[in-house]
Amino acid sequence: MLMSTQVGVPSAQRVPIAWAVTVAVAFAAGVALLLVPVEFVFGVVLALIAACVFLFSPYAGAVTFIAFYYLRPVDLVPQLGMLRLPLFIASVTSTGLFVRLLLNRQKLIEGWYVKWFLALWGVMLMSVPLSLYRSQSLSGAQDFLKSVAMVWMIYMAVRSEKQLTFVVRMLGWMALWLAGSTIYNYRTGQVETSGDLTRAGAESSMLGDPNDLAAYILMLFPLCYYLFFNDPKRWLKVVYGLAMVAILVAVVYTGSRGGFLGLIVLLFLLWLHSKRKVVGLFIGLAVFSAVWFAAPSEYRERMRSITNYQEDESAMNRVEYRKAAVRMFKHNPFTGIGYKNFPDFARQFGAPGSQTTHNMYFLVLGELGGLGLLVFLTIWIRSLLAARQLAKAQHWLLHALGMGALIGLMDLMVTGYFLSISYYPYHFILMALVAAAQAHLLPRVREGTA
């Protein structure tokens, strides 16, 4: 009855209208099959169905967006890259969410995380007028709008305990998938070589670098760890346990020195937050020893090179790239040389090549200046504080998410010192879930209404 009142169609007329729409769609599909290839018609039908789902359920769109980035279907079907599916999901879902908020007379923008993320995007736009390559900075800022929509969708759509539980558990599955696909790539020869070491990586451009891949796999380890001990569904412990084992194997297969340091920091942070320090120490040492001695000899040799980085050309080049970022900051301390401009102008500022800086902090400093770095660090620090607040809650989901995000993000801040992952969506997804849980679920838990 409510639905009839809203749309102004009597209930008695619904069935004829539904039949008329069904017949019209079937007729159009039949004609289309006669004129165009079946694959195209099938794709259009799927797109229409997805658009309807995302328009009427922004939560479904947000979940699909998260799953798309982790599952990386473009690796399996490269032709999907031409469809720009993330843009499609973000635009349709954002439209549906926007209309719903307007109809319900709710705030369009709320929450500290959404506001600070918009501020980061605002700094990107502010960098355009003084950018050394304005069209590229503007194009990059427009592309980053997908991430802005993603953060907004997650924060505004993931509100109930049931919704948050599903998404957090899904990240456990995504951790297993990401680590498992890394192992599969390594075993099937989809690798790259660094000297004598064979290294696995994802096929996608975003996680194609083994170092980036190792960092984000490790970021999800603490979440799986705390879900393993807190999730009331026992059968899911198998998923979380397999994910943790697969992550340890996958990190070795990436051959990443940053990932190795991240693993050490991760084990230390888990021990630091454990209640049984003595038992935790022995378990941590046992895990590290198992990983170290089970790894190939080439891997151990590469990790030993960390101690004499002055003799490593790659490590010393990264130092020069960081110096170039400082020179970019001095060129324009307020907004830097412009978003997405670092590789193109690295040589002009004294870098040895036209690559990115391999440091997420210096990358923001060089491209977005002091203002950009201030906003960037504020997002990170406030996310850590929010995660810590969740970790103290007497609720299994909030505690697992809070501790998992707190340790995972702290570990990523260490590995990020060697990586150019400043604007990647994966840590922003985790932060958005933390902010959503803090705003929507934590107050109800404290009131006893969850």
Query: What pLDDT digit, counting tens, does each position of 411-424 carry?
Result: 999 999 999 999 99
186 pLDDT more than 60: yes
Tell me if 226 is assigned to some domain.
Answer: yes
82 pLDDT more than 90: no
- For the chain, the domain total comes to 2
Q: Indicate whether 201 and 337 sit together in one domain.
A: yes
Q: Indicate whether 61 and 130 sit together in one domain.
A: no
For residues 91 and 73, what is the distance between their CA atoms, to the nearest angstrom?
19
Report pLDDT digits (tens) over 345-401.
999 999 888 888 889 999 999 999 999 999 999 999 999 999 999 999 999 999 999
263 pLDDT more than 70: yes
Q: Indicate whether 305 and 212 sit together in one domain.
A: yes
Q: Indicate whether 154 and 99 sit together in one domain.
A: no
Report pLDDT digits (tens) over 35-64.
656 555 566 667 778 778 888 899 999 999
At a CB cut-off of 8 Å and minimum separation 6, what does 112 contact?
382, 435
Tell me if 11 is assigned to some domain.
Answer: no
Tell me if 4 is assigned to some domain.
Answer: no
Identify the residue with better confidence: 446 or 128.
128
Q: Indicate whether 282 and 346 sit together in one domain.
A: yes
SS3 per-residue string spanning the chain: CHHHHHHCCCHHHHHHHHHHHHHHHHHHHHHHHHHCCHHHHHHHHHHHHHHHHHHHCHHHHHHHHHHHHHHCHHHHCHHHHHHCHHHHHHHHHHHHHHHHHHHCCCCCCCCHHHHHHHHHHHHHHHCCCCCCCHHHHHHHHHHHHHHHHHHHHHHHHCCCHHHHHHHHHHHHHHHHHHHHHHHHHHHCCCEEEECCEEEECCCCCCCCCHHHHHHHHHHHHHHHHHHHHHCCCCCHHHHHHHHHHHHHHHHHHHCCHHHHHHHHHHHHHHHHCCCCHHHHHHHHHHHHHHHHHHCCHHHHHHHHHHHHHHHCHHHHHHHHHHHHHHHHHHHCCCCCCCCCCHHHHCHHHCCCCCCCCCCHHHHHHHHHHHHHHHHHHHHHHHHHHHHHHHHCCCCHHHHHHHHHHHHHHHHHHHHHHHCCCCCCHHHHHHHHHHHHHHHHHHHHHHHCCC
Tell me if 417 is assigned to some domain.
Answer: yes
Tell me if 20 is assigned to some domain.
Answer: no
Q: Indicate whether 441 and 312 sit together in one domain.
A: yes
Q: Indicate whether 94 and 117 sit together in one domain.
A: no
Please say which residue of 103, 132, 161 terminates a domain.
103
Tell me if 329 is assigned to some domain.
Answer: yes
Q: Indicate whether 68 and 151 sit together in one domain.
A: no
88 pLDDT more than 80: yes
Please say which residue of 79, 103, 127 terminates a domain.
103
Report pLDDT digits (tens) over 198-226.
888 756 567 888 999 999 999 999 999 99
Please say which residue of 103, 121, 147 terminates a domain.
103
- Residue 362 domain boundaries: 112-447
pLDDT on residue 19: 64
Q: Indicate whether 185 and 213 sit together in one domain.
A: yes
Mean of the pLDDT values across residues 292-304? 88
Tell me if 9 is assigned to some domain.
Answer: no
Tell me if 6 is assigned to some domain.
Answer: no
Q: Is 151 left (phi over 0), alpha (psi -120 to 50) or beta?
A: alpha
